[in-house]
Structure 1
C-alpha cells in the first residue's frame, strides 16, 4: 500500500504548524485558511479537530506554558521563583511572536492553571499568606512578560551620531545592540534577584 502523500491530520500537527506560522508571521498572520494551506488540506478539515481558531491558539499557548519548570519550589520559595522565572522567560523568548497570547491570561487553559496551582502552592506551602502569594506570582509574571516582549538593549540605534552632542550620557549607547542578548539577560536576572531580595526575610 502506498504511503499517504502527507502526514495524517491530527491535533498536534495542527497545533505545531500554527506555532510555526505565528513564529514567522505573528499572531495576526495566523488564519484558518493559511493554516489549512500550509497543511495541504481544506479549512473545513481543521474544524473536526479544533472547532474555532481560539481553540488552536489555546493549544499553542498550552504547549508553550507546558515547558515552564515549577519544580524549584521543592527546594524552597526562593529557588522556586528563580527556576520558574527563568524557565518561563526561556519558553517565551523562543517564540516572541506568541508573547501577547501568553500575556492574555489564564482563562481555562489547562497548563496555565497547572502552573498557577504549582506556584501558588509552592508559595503558600512556604508560609506566604494566599493574598501575598498571589501578588508575588503577579510580580514575577510582569517581569517575565516585560522581558520577553520588550527587549531593552536592542532598542537602541547603533549609530553613534544619534547620541553625540545632544545626549552626553549615552555616548556608548550605540554599542548596546551588539551585546543585546547578554545585557537583556543580565537585566532580567537583576530584576528577578531584586524582587526575591525584596521579599526577605520571607514569610512569618
Structure 2
C-alpha cells in the first residue's frame, strides 16, 4: 500500500516570529535591506500576510526597537547611580553592536512608543533615585543624548509633548495620563520653563542646553588635566 507523503506543516505566523525574522534580516543585510516584500520572502509568505501582524513598516521598526530594548540590561539593584548608569549605557552599546541596523531604527522613530518611553523613564529614574533634582536630570539627559542608546547623536526631543493645537483641557488630560505611566519623564519634562522656538526639542532652550553640555565636558577636561591624565595610564589602570 502506497503511503501518501504529507507536506511538512508550516510554522504559524505570528507577530513575534515576524519581528524576529525582521531583526535577523536586518542583522544580515543592514537597515536598507529591510522591506516588507523581502521579509515576506524570508518567511515564505505573501507580503499581505505580514499586515495581519504589523500594520506597516513603521510598526515593524517599532517592534524591532522594542526587541533591542529588551536586550538591554535593567538597572543593577543596589548600585550607586554612577555605576548603574555606566553599566546600562555599556549594555545598550553591546546590544547596538549586535544589531548594526539599530542606530538607524532608533533615530528614525519620531513617535515614542511605550517600549521607548518605558526605557527613557527607567533611565531618568536612575538619576532621580540617586538624589538628582528633576531640574538637573533634565539637563543631564540632554547632555547624555544618544549615549543612553549606546551611541552619540544630537539631542532628542522632549517626550510626548502635547500638540500645540490641543486645548488646555486636552493637554492637561494627556499629561495626567503620562504622569501616571511615565512619572520620571514627566517630572523632568515639566521641571523648566521652555523656549517654544527651540530646534533641539519641544520647548528646550537651545543655547542653554548647548552651553550646559559644553561646560560639563570642559569641567571634565579640566579635572583630567589637573590629574595629569594620559590614555596609556588609563588603559593600564583599567586592566
Q: Does 1:29 align with 2:33?
A: yes
**Which shows bigger deviation, 44-53 or 129-138?**
129-138
- Tell me the TM-score normalized by structure 1: 0.65
Partner of 2:152: 146
Q: Paired residue for 2:111, among 98, 104, 107?
A: 107
Structure 1: state its 5+ residue gaps: 148-193, 199-204
How many pairs does the alignment contain? 151
Q: Paired residue for 1:45, among 37, 49, 57?
A: 49
Return the offset for 1:124.
Answer: 1.3
Superposed, 1:51-70 pairs within 5 Å as 51-70=55-74
**Structure 1 segments of 4+ aligned residues over 4 angstroms from their partners:** none
Over aligned residues, Cα RMSD in angstroms?
Answer: 2.6
Return the offset for 1:141.
Answer: 4.2
- Tell me the TM-score normalized by structure 2: 0.56
Q: 1:73 & 1:122 partners in 2: Cα distance?
A: 10
**Greater relative contact order: 1 or 2 (C-alpha under 8 angstroms, separation 6 or more)?**
1
Larger-gyration structure (1/2): 2
Partner of 2:81: 77
1:65/1:3 Cα in 2 relative to 1: closer, same or farther (>3 Å)?
A: farther
Structure 2: state its 5+ residue gaps: 1-5, 154-215, 221-239
